[in-house]
């Protein structure tokens, strides 16, 4: 049987660090997330979240965690997979929000010695901030390298909504767009499609979704069309935004649906 954590011992954890220092405790936190005991899994995730995304910052160990978290979600025998996607999101993206326009350049020129100094509790503030950007960039790029996995998750009802939200932060490709259009979590996918420029076929897909029997699908389609078309929003989409009571936002999205509707109406000019 495949073990998604089978290569943990290949990583030199003692050379990496997190918010509390040396990262040698990280493998045990990851193994806890495979426990048959729910409280043990929850504790493992919570402790890992606190260690590697402290106050939105990432650390040298953060990027190294990404492939292990993706492997855990890829394995359908992993419990609480949707919560693991949430942890992956926090590590890959920190506390950023859409539109994703983070400038990582400040940390690119740091030497190995400077990064080692930045890991110390007494590191100068400017050096620590630059290093945090460097580690954030590494975590983001590690996550970007695994978009193919997120696309596969779009057909898995347990994690499709979270996967759709995650894909909003990475450059789209025609394959990604096609997978979002076909996702089993259409409401969440619609909100991601709202943020993907180009791809005219998306407008036709969202217009068709306005006829869905599911309110969350109709509402997110109308929001997405408003984001994409602005004042050219078709009247049937505007009617949904103005007349319908917003449902809860799809899993994975932090903003309330009412908040999305407010932003959508601003795009339209109302």
- Please write the tens of the pLDDT for every residue from 74-127: 999 999 999 999 999 999 998 888 877 777 887 788 888 888 888 888 888 888
Segment 228-247, tens digit of pLDDT: 999 999 999 999 999 989 99
Q: Examine residue 25 and state whether it is found in any structural domain, yes or no.
A: yes
What span, in angstroms and rounded, lies between the C-alpha atoms of 54 and 212? Answer: 41
Q: Examine residue 156 and state whether it is found in any structural domain, yes or no.
A: no
What span, in angstroms and rounded, lies between the C-alpha atoms of 175 and 161? Answer: 17
What span, in angstroms and rounded, lies between the C-alpha atoms of 240 and 253? Answer: 20
Give how many domains the chain has, as a whole number: 2
- What are the beta bridge partners of residue 17? 22
Answer yes or no: do 36 and 122 share one domain: yes
Answer yes or no: do 133 and 20 share one domain: yes
Answer yes or no: do 13 and 124 share one domain: yes
Answer yes or no: do 134 and 183 share one domain: no
What span, in angstroms and rounded, lies between the C-alpha atoms of 31 and 47? Answer: 12
Q: Examine residue 186 and state whether it is found in any structural domain, yes or no.
A: yes
**Distance between alpha carbon 15 and the CA centroid of its chain, in Å?**
27
Answer yes or no: do 51 and 124 share one domain: yes
Query: Which residue range forms the structural domain that includes residue 198?
Result: 171-268
Answer yes or no: do 108 and 175 share one domain: no
Answer yes or no: do 263 and 228 share one domain: yes
Q: Examine residue 154 and state whether it is found in any structural domain, yes or no.
A: no
CB-based contact 175:188 (threshold 8 Å): no
Q: Any idea what DSSP says for residue 66?
A: H
Question: Which pTM does this prediction carry?
Answer: 0.92
Segment 135-174, tens digit of pLDDT: 999 999 999 999 999 999 999 999 999 999 999 999 999 9
């Amino acid at each position: 049987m495949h073990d998604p954590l089978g290569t943990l011992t290949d990583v030199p954890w003692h050379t990496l660090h997190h918010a509390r220092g040396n990262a040698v405790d990280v493998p045990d936190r990851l193994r806890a997330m495979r426990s048959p005991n729910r409280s043990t899994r929850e504790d493992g995730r919570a402790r890992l979240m606190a260690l590697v995304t402290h106050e939105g910052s990432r650390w040298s160990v953060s990027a190294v965690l990404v492939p292990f978290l993706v492997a855990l979600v890829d394995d359908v025998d992993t419990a609480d997979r949707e919560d693991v996607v949430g942890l992956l999101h926090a590590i890959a993206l920190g506390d950023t929000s859409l539109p994703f326009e983070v400038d990582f350049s400040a940390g690119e020129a740091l030497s190995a010695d400077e990064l080692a100094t930045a890991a110390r509790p007494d590191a100068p503030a400017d050096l620590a901030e630059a290093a945090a950007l460097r580690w954030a960039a590494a975590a983001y790029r590690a996550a970007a390298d695994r978009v193919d996995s997120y696309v596969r998750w779009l057909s898995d009802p347990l994690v499709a909504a979270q996967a759709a939200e995650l894909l909003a932060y990475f450059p789209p490709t025609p394959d990604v767009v096609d997978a979002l259009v076909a996702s089993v979590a259409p409401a969440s996918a619609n909100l991601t499609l709202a943020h993907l420029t180009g791809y005219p076929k998306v407008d036709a897909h969202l217009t068709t979704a306005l006829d869905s029997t599911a309110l969350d699908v109709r509402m997110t389609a109308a929001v997405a069309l408003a984001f994409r078309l602005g004042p050219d929003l078709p009247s049937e989409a505007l009617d949904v935004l103005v007349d319908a009571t917003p449902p809860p936002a799809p899993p994975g999205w932090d903003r309330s649906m009412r908040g999305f509707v407010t932003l959508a109406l601003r795009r339209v000019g109302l």
